[in-house]
Amino acid sequence: MPRRGPNRAAAPPAGLPPAGDPGARPWWRSKGGQLTEYLRRAIRDGQLAEPLPGMRRWCQQLGVGRRTLASAVRELHREGWLVVHRRGVRVARGRAGAEAGPRQGPRVVRLLLHGAYGPTIHGYLETISSLQEQLRVRGLEFQWELCPPARLREIARKPVAAPEVLVLASVPPAYQRLIAAAGRPAIVLGEVGPGIRLPFVNVDQPSAVRHATFRLLQRGCREIVLLHVHADAAGLRSARAALAAACGAWRPARVTPRAVPVALAPGPLRATVRRLAAGVRGRTGFIVLAPVPVGLVVTALWRAGVAVPAQAEVVALLHSPEAVKLEPPPAHYPSPVRQLVRHLTEAAVRYFDTGRLPAMAKTLPTELSGGD
């Protein structure tokens, strides 16, 4: 057994960068947040020995300011790891060397993507890749699965064999409700159904649809078509409502909004896009919501003899940068992948450290990129 003494308070636990090494600190973690995590793990692993040093000496050992340390101590006191009293700070009884949450076996984050066809994943490839990398950095395993309805029902019923957090991507409210009722730790990537109490992180699709609609109207489009995947998702209902509201509020001229659900199976997908392209008469705007492939829409318009962007203008909504490498390039509202991944990673780390998911309710904006 290594000798323990007051200086153990400054020794970082295994797997964490030394305190005061900003180059080793993850980009998404503030100094105070990283210090809180470091001290939490040090207590859990029995590496924070008593008596704890005074605040001034502790700040010197950790290489942080007094306000940073005080903030971390308050958070750990709130979580029950530390006890703060008039004479100082001590480790809560029974916490040293104890596990914080469900940490036996591998710690897994599993993304469940609703759908039955391979093209469903195209809109999520960037998120999947980035999430896998950031979770690996934090020592967590990552898995993902394309789930038809029967598989979602099976997962909701199946007992949990190992600690895991579920990320529900584009999962309809009915299956969100099943998983919540089963008590499974889950985060919704998208919009949560009415009355379902699950943490979520979402992109503000309605605002992006509204902004894109007004942009197309200002550029002379008299028909606006929103193409979205055929699914029962609360976020899609909000997007359709935003389209109708924006067109209804346009006073200079009468506008026809159309929301077209698209099946992602290759045959029906091509047939729907070809039919829409062949039906273009006046100046028309297309808002293509991922995972509907924006390149397929542009190609179908050209093959139908529709000039892009002179007659038909295309806006890509929540597509990856790779998907919009077209000529001419469409206006693009990219998905805020970096922010999405940051919030999902932090929530998963919090669960495995404390046994509780944070009460997260994040709606992230997306802004126009490209277009003249």
pLDDT tens digits, 14-49: 333 444 443 444 434 567 778 888 888 788 777 776
d(C-alpha 26, C-alpha 335), whole Å: 22
Task: Note whether residue 1 is domain-resident.
Answer: no
Same domain, residue pair 264 and 185:
no
d(C-alpha 226, C-alpha 289), whole Å: 7
d(C-alpha 53, C-alpha 151), whole Å: 53
> Of the residues 91, 116, 140, which one is the last residue of a structural domain?
91
Same domain, residue pair 53 and 25:
yes
Predicted confidence band of residue 336 (pLDDT cuts 50, 70, 90)? very high
- Of the chain, the percentage scoring pLDDT greater than 90 comes to 50
The upper half-sphere exposure of residue 81, i.e. CA atoms within 13 Å in the direction of its Cβ, equals 26
Same domain, residue pair 160 and 113:
yes
Q: Check residue 116 and give its pLDDT.
A: 65
Task: Note whether residue 238 is domain-resident.
Answer: yes
Q: Check residue 7 and give its pLDDT.
A: 40
Q: Check residue 103 and give its pLDDT.
A: 47
Domain that holds residue 198: 108-203+338-364
Q: What angle do CA 315, 363, 219 make, to 5 degrees?
A: 25
E strand intervals along the chain: 82-85, 88-91, 108-114, 141-147, 164-169, 186-189, 200-203, 223-229, 256-262, 284-289, 312-317, 331-333, 361-364
Task: Note whether residue 102 is domain-resident.
Answer: no
Same domain, residue pair 250 and 328:
yes
CATH code where residue 139 lies = 3.40.50.2300
Structure tokens, 231: 């699914």
Same domain, residue pair 134 and 235:
no
d(C-alpha 193, C-alpha 175), whole Å: 10
Same domain, residue pair 318 and 354:
no
Same domain, residue pair 241 and 316:
yes
Task: Note whether residue 26 is domain-resident.
Answer: yes
pTM for the whole structure:
0.70
Minimal CA–CA distance to 49: which of 90, 20, 104? 90
Q: Check residue 119 and give its pLDDT.
A: 61
Same domain, residue pair 300 and 352:
no
Q: Check residue 75 and give its pLDDT.
A: 83
Same domain, residue pair 237 and 168:
no
d(C-alpha 189, C-alpha 344), whole Å: 9
Task: Note whether residue 99 is domain-resident.
Answer: no
Predicted confidence band of residue 365 (pLDDT cuts 50, 70, 90)? very high
Task: Note whether residue 97 is domain-resident.
Answer: no
Task: Note whether residue 176 is domain-resident.
Answer: yes
CATH code where residue 85 lies = 1.10.10.10
Same domain, residue pair 210 and 298:
yes
Structure tokens, 84: 């703060």
Same domain, residue pair 296 and 192:
no
Annotate 121-145 with b (16+ C-beta within 10 A) or e (fewer): bbbbebbbebbbebbeebebebebe
Same domain, residue pair 315 and 343:
no
DSSP code at position 323:
G
* Choice between 99 and 346, residue whose per-residue pLDDT is larger: 346
Domains of the chain: total: 3
d(C-alpha 57, C-alpha 63), whole Å: 10
> Of the residues 36, 58, 91, which one is the last residue of a structural domain?
91
Q: Is the dihedral of CA 28, 30, 34, 36 positive or negative?
A: negative
d(C-alpha 298, C-alpha 76), whole Å: 54
Task: Note whether residue 96 is domain-resident.
Answer: no
How large is the average pLDDT for residues 3-14? 40
